[in-house]
Structure 1
Amino acid sequence: MSMLDVEDLNVWFGDGRDRVDAVKSASFTVAAGESFGLVGESGSGKSTILRAITGLARNWSGRISIDGASLSGAKRDRSFYKTVQMVFQDPYASLHPRHTVDQVLGETLHLHGFRDIDARVAKLLDDVGLGNRFRFRYPHQLSGGQRQRVAIARALAGEPDILLLDEPTSALDVSVQAEILNLLTDLRDARQLTFVMVSHDLAVVGHMCDRLAVMKDGEVVEIMGVETLRNHQAIHPYSAALLEASVVG
């Protein structure tokens, strides 16, 4: 069963002479429970696709559907955010600096309509490996990895089916990156989540994803399985060059 369908997606910024076409005729599908990667150089359009899905990129055409339901325009209703959540690259920028972890998670749970908020906050912190002692800390009192764990807990609060991961470890120290990736893998298994992960790091994608789309200048030039990635068997010249420049095994 397909959880996400993207068909002939175009995303642009500006109008007339100032128009920039960031994504051009991109198409791919992601099955329920699959982890799908979007890779390419900076500016290739991979993060813009996530922004179109969430409504953060307003100008788009084509078709995006979530679990069979088509999206339109930039407006997303509450049911969308119960199904789809996004984890951003910079965990410090995505958390309110004057809100404690308890406030961040409690307010999110309240917005999703939950009542047993106290117990759910405690469970979320346990699920991301923090525990109750971090509950009343502010973002500046947390390390980068701890902040990203809070951001992941917030994304999980509404019990979504899909997590959109926009370079979720690139702002973290190398020593912490593996911990967050392993946490995400465990959460995917435990909660039967579907992942769409944007990354410039092919080694990360090779570790986390089942399939991936390679993007260049806003276009999807190749879709391949992770074994093709690991075996350096890309067909498109750009994909082959990208793999050649990376260490993936």
Structure 2
Amino acid sequence: MNEKPMIRVDNLDVIFGHGRAEVRAVRGVSLDVARGAAFGLVGESGSGKSTVLRAIARLLPGWTGSIEIDGAVLGHRRDRAAARRMQMVFQDPFGSLHPRHTINAILSEPLEIHGLDRHEPRILKALEEVGLGVELRFRYPHQISGGQRQRVAIARAMILEPEILLLDEPTSALDVSVQAEILNLLKRLQRERGLTYLMVSHNLAVVAHLCDRIAVMNRGRIVETLTVEQLRRHDVAEDYTRQLLSASAGFDRAAARSLVTYE
């Protein structure tokens, strides 16, 4: 008997606005992510990939379809138990960290919300796990580098000991040299903790570094699902995926302009 997936999404739709202003941002998206696996959603800006992630995190109202975590159906309201099991790391670490809170206060907040004790040892352990020294503990986000801020964001997610991380373009705001460090950190944490990842990115190389399977999104739909081995071999079925591969090989204005879209 097959083990139930850690994340299951079935026929997810997300609509913004009403009447003439209505936009169907996500259209019938279905996907499964196995326990301990890393699954990537890729596509150009506006493809709906981040909207899928935010619906799973219950940060958006009004979605329809079904979302299950470890076999349990999620409602539209966030609840503490599910939130503790499933944490999110956002694209912009500077925007996601309170600018007037110290790193210590930022890491203390989720512990207070979830009523957890032993704050100091938990904070010290979280900093150590993401490769940050204790000397940063009482600094503010503007006093540390972008890569360090993203490590703090990851530490904040990990301090609740979740089973799932939702990763929304976690390296796109960072320098290329720092991106590799953050990806390697995420890969190590997944291996050590047995985490399940659902990652969104427009960068195929980033997704291929971290993920086992990849779904390509365009205009709110999943148009193709691949293994990372198929992606590396360019063994793809859709023209849109081929053009994404071509564009990701280097900055190609002609390729970007010619991307296929689906009505």
Q: TM-score range by the shorter chain?
A: over 0.9
TM-score (norm 2): 0.92
Give the match's secondary structure for 1:133. helix
Q: What is the aligned partner in structure 1 of residue 255 from structure 2?
A: none
Report the number of matched residues. 247
Q: What is the aligned partner in structure 1 of residue 59 from structure 2?
A: 56
The answer to whether the 8 A contact 1:233-1:240 is kept is no
| Alignment RMSD | 1.1
CA distance in 1, matches of 2:126, 2:111: 10
Give, in angstroms, the shift of residue 82 of structure 1: 1.1
CA distance in 2, matches of 1:127, 1:238: 39
The answer to whether the 8 A contact 1:10-1:21 is kept is yes
Residue identity in the other structure for 2:222? V
Residue identity in the other structure for 1:214? V
Counterpart pick for 1:32 among 32, 35, 60: 35
Unmatched runs of 5 consecutive residues or more in structure 1: none
Unmatched runs of 5 consecutive residues or more in structure 2: 251-263
1:18 and 2:54 matched? no
Runs of 4+ in structure 1 off by over 3 angstroms are none
Residue identity in the other structure for 2:138? F
Give the match's secondary structure for 1:93. helix
Residue identity in the other structure for 1:79? A
Relative to structure 2, which stretch is displaced further, 233-242 or 166-175?
233-242
CA distance in 2, matches of 1:21, 1:151: 31
CA distance in 1, matches of 2:199, 2:91: 11
Q: What is the aligned partner in structure 2 of residue 205 from structure 1?
A: 207
TM-score (norm 1): 0.97
Q: Deviations over 1:52-92 (max 9, x none)?
A: 0111111211111111111122x110001111100000000
The answer to whether the 8 A contact 1:232-1:244 is kept is no
Q: Deviations over 1:115-170 (max 9, x none)?
A: 11110000000000002111000001010000000000000111110000000000
CA distance in 1, matches of 2:133, 2:213: 33
Q: What is the aligned partner in structure 2 of residue 217 from structure 1?
A: 219
